[in-house]
Structure 1
Amino acid sequence: MLSYVFPLFPVMLPVLLCAMVGVIWVRTAQPYNQEFVRRMVMWISAPALVLSTLVEVDIGIDRLQQIVLATLVMLAFSVVIAMLFCLVAGWSLRDFVVALTIGNTGNMGMPVCLFAFGQEGLALAVGLFLISMGCHFSIGIAVLNGRAAVKAVCSSPVVYAGVLAAIIIAYELSVPKTITNTLEILGGMAIPLMLVTLGVSLGGLRVAQTGEAVVLGVARMVVGIGAALATVWCLELEGTIAKVVLVQGAMPAAIFNYLLAVQYQRSPQAVAGMVVSSTLMSFVTVPVMLLFIA
């Protein structure tokens, strides 16, 4: 058994330790300007990471189209399963469907896929994150707020970086080494900052009702993993792309779900509980998933 577990340490421990840095930082009352860091990540390091990863890794336009389709199918399955949970449990669809559907494919998902599957896994995880983020900040906000939020997507540099990378891949354009090296340096900030910010965010969240939080956390994990398994089966995915979809499906609820719940007053305390409990669960479910697909 230990021979199966030990290889997971280099994958999961860096994620846990980096997040713990953030938890310890906030618990020791050290200053941490989350808005500044968020802007650094969303406006500089994340777009650079998207461009450098997708351009440098020979992923090909066919594989990019495949991960886009897989992500959309997985989100569709997630919505259906999340709606069923809400209807059976009597939860508000508007308050909980988005939070149950959108997993932490960025802060946590991309590092895990990088450590588990290398640069190819990271490139596919980046593609999945881009589509998931686009849906979260358009359709997701429309559900939470009752109106469309296309402006939020159109004003995101990460989205434009993804479009530019797709054009470069599709037309097989050559990017000067000076540019790719610069993007690699700037993009190198993204994952450490994402993980530390994840820890800071979790360290600052307070769970109001533990029982409700656990139930919501379990529901999120069932939604994500169930949707990922259905997607792999439905699209007959194989290889690294199937593994990335399954691992990303096992991710906990995204931190942004809580921030949007606060902004639009959609049961923020309950969503905070879901984020915390599902994140703690993911340190069990993700290794189990990695063992399952090994």
Structure 2
Amino acid sequence: MNLLLTVFEIVAPVFLLAGIGFTWVKLGFEYRLEFVTRLGVTLAVPSLIFVALMQTEIPAGELTRFTLAAIVGHIGLASVFELFVRLRGLDRRTYLSPLIFGNTGNLGLPLCVFAFGQAGLGYAVVFLAVTALLSFTYGIYLVAGKGGFGKAAREPMVWATLLGAVFLWQGWQTPVFLTNTLELLGQMAIPMMLITVGVAIARLTTRSLGQAIWLSLLKLSVCFALGWGFGTIFSLEPIAFGVLLLQMCTPVAVTSYLLAERFDADADAVAGMVMVSTVLSVGALPLILAIVL
């Protein structure tokens, strides 16, 4: 009973905030998604990433193992789903990126913070940074058929990650006034990201729910198996193991839909995967959390 209460206390704020965004749109209120998203990825999330890395107290050896596990985890997903897409004859540009990349920022990051505290934030930020770097390069290449390295170099999240890693490596700290400012900016990232997820889901429409259901179940199963396997192989400590598993199992990111729409892939099919996998995560992520706590 205590475990169920603990899990509820962790996941309820995440889905309640997403529900606020969903309800806000359904009530007809204005929400400028492009402005809020730009504010988040340009200021709030980079500030959160930089401060979390700079202030993390995770031992260097554990952080290195976790980073390697996150990278290998993405490579494992890419390999498995590349083979699956080819064998099933699915459109690679449409399906491969959504199957690989999860919503590690908007959903995964807040969930890890509520579940594991400051230590969980440090690991979750590292996983988010790996996801962002790969999705801005390899992910764009999958959908657009061309490299996205120029876009990655212009992303504040990428530079915040690199700068935070340097500060962590050298043991540097920014002046207190600057740290406090960056912390304030970072504190608005989590509620902003969660509400934005609800808004984005409320605005999506799709006719591809049937296929989206079994693809979302497949994605969750493969992600759970690989997350558990790589967490064990790299001998991650309990918090790092839990963060890796949760982040691997996050639903399809809304950005996958935006990329599909922008580069003329099957955006309707991707929208279906975003919607179904997000609804599925309402039940799946608390269950996974109960397993790792």
TM-score (norm 1): 0.96
State the Cα deviation string for residues 53-98 of structure 1 (Å, max 9, x = none): 1222312443432232111100011112212332343312232111
State the Cα deviation string for residues 18-65 of structure 1 (Å, max 9, x = none): 001110111112111111111110111111111121222312443432
**Structure 1 position 189, deviation (Å):** 0.8
Distance 1:266 1:250 in 2: 24
Distance 1:63 1:49 in 2: 21
State the Cα deviation string for residues 230-267 of structure 1 (Å, max 9, x = none): 21133222221111101111211111111101111221
- Contact 2:70–2:127 under 8 Å retained in 1: yes
**Structure 1 position 176, deviation (Å):** 1.9
- Contact 1:19–1:196 under 8 Å retained in 2: yes
Segments of structure 1 that go 5 or more residues without pairing to the other structure are none
- Contact 2:85–2:91 under 8 Å retained in 1: yes
SS at match of 1:108: helix
**Structure 1 position 226, deviation (Å):** 2.3
The aligned counterpart of 2:182 is 183
The aligned counterpart of 2:225 is 226
Which aligned pairs between 1:11-160 and structure 2 lie closer than 5 A? 11-160=10-159
**Structure 1 position 206, deviation (Å):** 1.0
Tell me which stretches of 4 or more aligned residues in structure 1 moved more than 4 Å: none
- Contact 1:45–1:190 under 8 Å retained in 2: yes
Distance 1:81 1:140 in 2: 15
Distance 2:61 2:152 in 1: 24
SS at match of 2:104: coil
Distance 1:166 1:212 in 2: 41
**Structure 1 position 113, deviation (Å):** 0.2
State the Cα deviation string for residues 128-159 of structure 1 (Å, max 9, x = none): 10111110010111111111111111001111
Distance 1:211 1:61 in 2: 45
Distance 2:59 2:177 in 1: 22
The aligned counterpart of 1:240 is 239
The aligned counterpart of 2:260 is 261
Distance 2:223 2:102 in 1: 7
- Contact 1:61–1:169 under 8 Å retained in 2: no
Distance 2:59 2:182 in 1: 20
Distance 2:272 2:256 in 1: 11
- Contact 1:75–1:101 under 8 Å retained in 2: yes
Q: Percent identity?
A: 33
Amino acid at match of 2:232: W
Amino acid at match of 2:109: M
- Contact 1:48–1:186 under 8 Å retained in 2: yes
State the Cα deviation string for residues 89-129 of structure 1 (Å, max 9, x = none): 33122321111000110000000000000011011101110
Amino acid at match of 2:84: F
Distance 1:187 1:57 in 2: 15
- Contact 1:77–1:230 under 8 Å retained in 2: no
Amino acid at match of 1:110: L
- Contact 1:253–1:275 under 8 Å retained in 2: yes
Segments of structure 2 that go 5 or more residues without pairing to the other structure are none
Distance 1:174 1:272 in 2: 42
Query: Which has the larger displacement, 201-210 or 112-121?
Result: 201-210
- Contact 1:52–1:180 under 8 Å retained in 2: yes
Distance 1:174 1:233 in 2: 33
- Contact 1:59–1:120 under 8 Å retained in 2: yes
Amino acid at match of 2:44: S
Amino acid at match of 1:132: T
**Number of paired residues?**
293
Distance 1:61 1:3 in 2: 34
Amino acid at match of 2:45: A
